[in-house]
Amino acid sequence: MRVLGIDPGLTRCGVGVVEGSIGRPLSLVDVGVVRTSTELHVAHRLRELEVGLEEWLDRTRPDAVAVERVFSRSAVSTVMGTAQASGVAMLVAARRGLPVALHTPSEVKAAVTGNGRADKAQVGAMVARLLRLDAVPKPADAADSLALAICHVWRGGASDRIAAALEKQVAARTRGVRP
Amino acid sequence: MRVLGIDPGLTRCGVGVVEGSIGRPLSLVDVGVVRTSTELHVAHRLRELEVGLEEWLDRTRPDAVAVERVFSRSAVSTVMGTAQASGVAMLVAARRGLPVALHTPSEVKAAVTGNGRADKAQVGAMVARLLRLDAVPKPADAADSLALAICHVWRGGASDRIAAALEKQVAARTRGVRP
């Protein structure tokens, strides 16, 4: 199974694609970030993000998409932009009929390092080891997107089947309506 | 000028279209809500919302779109869904090259009633009076979307010109890339 992990953000949106299945070695397909221009209105930044994510989906053809769950508890001023970016990420995947799963940061950390409160360095180091990379992918958003994808490979089976069933249900309603 | 006001939400997204210009009477084009199914995964709800908003844009052909600005200060559990819905609303408009403006709830209340802390009933009553309607549109999300559109007609000129200039700038980057 090939999973695209998305660490949502307006300035840097981490995107990482991993191939693997439970009990088998994982491999890196590609990793990077989609950036949008800080000088643009948020509406245009969301549009740039959509175009960037569509390119990643076209090129890497994942079977499922995993997006980091955003919480409102965060007092960070960027949380609204992050939430909007996560909305665009989910929308783009749903439009293609791909299963979409949300994983919390602590679920991802626990899956990859065994510790739900691991720090960024520990997560990065485990991602590099699991994918047999020479170095931790930079920036941190890129490494986080790979951790999300790995978490989904290991946790994703059941939630994907539920999502696929729901997708069939909604497909009838939105079929043929393409923007 | 014809403005589509959007009061973002996942369960009920208010949509109201107003025609008018500064110093002239306003008129109602159409008003309603786009609803999405609470039993679906948020990714599919965002897709339903996109389809619904596309239908409104196709049918009513606004010159500009005004979206209510969402704040993270709100402790309400629905704030993430509201932020994601607002992201989809802005995206859909930006993709069409329409100017998108954000107005805060207090800007909208002040524009329509003269009081930035007016309650829902006062806003609804003024919307009905300004548009010469027999009754306040229901639900409140629908009335709020009309208030947003009216606010934008009265405040929108300058911000639309800025948005249009930025849109030209970004169009070169995203041209021809359609999902």
Q: What are the backbone angles phi and psi of residue A41, rounded to the nearest 5°?
A: -60, 145
Q: Do the chains contact at B167 and A44, CB–CB below 8 Å? A: yes
Residues B19 and B1: beta-carbon distance below 8 Å: yes
The verdict on domain A2-174 having CATH code 3.90.870.40 is no
CB pairs under 8 A between A and B: 129
Domain boundaries, chain B: 2-174
Confidence label for A155 from pLDDT (cuts 50, 70 and 90)? confident
Kind of pairing, strands A64-68 and A2-7?
parallel
Q: Lowest-confidence range among A57-71, A120-134, B154-168? A: B154-168
When scoring A37, A50, A161 by the number of chain B Cβ atoms within 10 A, the one with the most, hence best to mutate, is: A50
Give yes or no for residue B22 having a pLDDT over 90.
Answer: no
- Selecting from B50, B84, B170 the residue whose C-beta is nearest the C-beta of A40 gives B170
* pLDDT number for residue A169: 67
Distance CA A170, CA A147 (A): 29
* pLDDT number for residue B136: 96
Give yes or no for residue B73 having a pLDDT over 90.
Answer: no
Q: Compare B178 and A29 and report the one with higher pLDDT.
A: A29
Give yes or no for residue B165 having a pLDDT over 70.
Answer: no
When scoring B50, B82, B168 by the number of chain A Cβ atoms within 10 A, the one with the most, hence best to mutate, is: B50
Q: What percent of chain A has pLDDT over 70?
A: 83
Give yes or no for residue A167 having a pLDDT over 80.
Answer: no
Give yes or no for residue A174 having a pLDDT over 80.
Answer: no
* pLDDT number for residue A26: 96
Residue A153 touches partner B, C-beta closer than 8 Å: no
For B157-175, what is the mean pLDDT? Answer: 62
- What is B106-146 written as a DSSP string? HHHHHHHHS-TT--HHHHHHHHHHHTT-SS--SSHHHHHHH
Distance CA B107, CA A23 (A): 56
Confidence label for A69 from pLDDT (cuts 50, 70 and 90)? very high
* pLDDT number for residue A104: 94
* pLDDT number for residue B158: 57
> What does the pLDDT look like over B145-155, one tens digit per residue?
999 999 999 98
* pLDDT number for residue B75: 57
Q: Which two tokens stand for residue B65?
A: 């779109």
Nearest-Cα residue of chain B relative to residue A44: B94
Distance CA A142, CA A60 (A): 15
Give yes or no for residue A164 having a pLDDT over 90.
Answer: no
Termini Cα distance of chain B: 29
Minimal C-alpha gap between B135 and chain A (Å)? 32
* pLDDT number for residue A70: 86
Place of tokens 């919480």: A71
Give yes or no for residue B65 having a pLDDT over 80.
Answer: yes
Largest Cα span, chain A: 47
Q: Do the chains contact at A46 and B91, CB–CB below 8 Å? A: yes
* pLDDT number for residue B71: 79
Q: Which two tokens stand for residue B176?
A: 């021809």
* pLDDT number for residue B162: 61
Minimal C-alpha gap between A40 and chain B (Å)? 7
> What does the pLDDT look like over B123-138, one tens digit per residue?
999 999 999 999 999 9
* pLDDT number for residue B38: 93
> What does the pLDDT look like over A25-67, one tens digit per residue?
999 999 999 999 999 999 999 999 999 999 999 999 999 999 9
Give yes or no for residue A79 having a pLDDT over 80.
Answer: yes
Distance CA B26, CA B5 (A): 14
Checking ipTM against 0.95, whether it exceeds it is: no
Residues A101 and A66: beta-carbon distance below 8 Å: yes
Per-residue CA distances from B146 to B12, B64, B161 (Å): 14, 13, 22
* pLDDT number for residue B78: 79
Question: Average pLDDT, whole number, for chain A?
Answer: 90
* pLDDT number for residue A51: 98
Q: Which two tokens stand for residue B151?
A: 């606010």
Residue A171: in which H helix or E strand, if any?
helix A140-174
For A101-121, what is the mean pLDDT? Answer: 95
* pLDDT number for residue A77: 67
